């Protein structure tokens, strides 16, 4: 849910199309990197479900934005 909220905040903070594309690429890569970092952090574990959920939150907001701008 965190990346879903970050995506919404990114849309509200930077409404131009060029910056929104950068924000979504950044959030998508960040979600992957943060989950991969769990491999090296003690007491944390890498989980594909978390990686999928983080990525899905970013992709969902991006898709909603694209459909919303088409109207």
pLDDT at 70: 60
Long-range pairs, 30-39, Cβ under 8 A, ≥24: 31/3, 31/55, 31/57, 31/58
* pLDDT tens by residue, 30-44: 888 988 888 888 888
The answer for 63, left when phi > 0, alpha when psi is -120 to 50, beta otherwise, is: alpha
Q: Is the pTM of this model over 0.85?
A: no
**In this predicted model, which residue has the larger pLDDT, 17 or 62?**
62
* pLDDT tens by residue, 47-60: 888 888 888 888 88
Exposure of 71 in the CB half-sphere (CA atoms within 13 A):
4
Exposure of 26 in the CB half-sphere (CA atoms within 13 A):
10
* pLDDT tens by residue, 1-29: 788 888 888 777 877 767 788 888 888 89
């Amino acid at each position: 849910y965190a990346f879903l909220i970050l995506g919404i905040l990114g849309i509200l903070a930077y409404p131009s199309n060029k910056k929104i594309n950068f924000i979504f690429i950044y959030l998508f890569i960040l979600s992957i990197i943060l989950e991969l970092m769990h491999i090296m952090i003690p007491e944390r574990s890498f989980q594909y479900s978390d990686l999928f959920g983080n990525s899905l939150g970013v992709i969902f907001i991006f898709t909603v934005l694209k459909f919303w701008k088409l109207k």
